[in-house]
Amino acid sequence: MYDPLTRTYSFACPHGREPRVPLSDFRMLERLPGTSHPAVFEVTFSCTCGSHHAGLVTHDALDVAPVGVGVGGKFQNLLTGRKDALDAELTGLAAARIGAGEWPWSFFCFLEGRPQPITPSALSVIAPGERLLGVAARCPVCSATSVNLVTREHLDIPFWNDAWVGVVDHVFGHDALRTIEEFRAELESSRFDERRLDLER
């Protein structure tokens, strides 16, 4: 489902393709009621065929596979000449960075007035722009939904974290942004402040 080397998710396309989709090409994410172990999310994504399609992704594939947990596979270790487990290497690197105070993804919560660490399952709507993406995410501390403007790399590459992001100067209800069109209209009518995204260490 998730390939940590290309940083993409695999989905099915009704036209017979098997697109590899980065997180920045997701458009809407919604946790489905019912199952909790694992939780399952319905994702609307922008496909290489030019249309938007729906797909399902588990919590593990969405939140923990991007840092290497459970991805499987081996790689040729050039230092030792052996084939080592890819998940052990990636999770070791991720654990060291998290232990040093870095987080794979971060987001500026307008209500809290500070950056917060998040996982991709906190995202609800993503809208592409000319250079930046508008991203609505739920804060893990206060549960308010804030909107940030970020680069594609901020979403697609764990531990990238833009130094500065645009932040809409108000919060949204949990169901306020139900469609991509509503979200784009809100982005066009909103004022953004630039905020530093360094997490406190």
Q: Are 53 and 47 in contact (CB under 8 A)?
A: yes
pLDDT tier for residue 24 given thresholds of 50, 70 and 90:
very high
pLDDT on residue 201: 40
Contacts of 29 by beta carbon, 8 Å cutoff, 6+ apart? 41, 42, 43, 44, 62, 120, 121, 123, 124, 125
Q: 76 or 57, which is more confident?
A: 57
pTM of the complete model beyond 0.85: no
Chain position carrying tokens 């009621």: 33
pLDDT on residue 176: 58
pLDDT tier for residue 131 given thresholds of 50, 70 and 90:
confident
**CA 154 and chain centroid, separation:** 8
Nearest residue to 161 (alpha-carbon basis) of 100, 108, 112, 92: 108
Side-chain half-sphere of 54: how many Cα atoms within 13 Å? 6
Contacts of 86 by beta carbon, 8 Å cutoff, 6+ apart? 4, 68, 71, 72, 73, 74, 75
Per-domain residue ranges of the chain: 2-21+30-66, 105-196
Q: Are 126 and 135 in contact (CB under 8 A)?
A: yes
pLDDT digits 0-9 by tens, 172-197 = 766 656 666 666 676 666 666 677 76
Q: 16 or 181, which is more confident?
A: 16
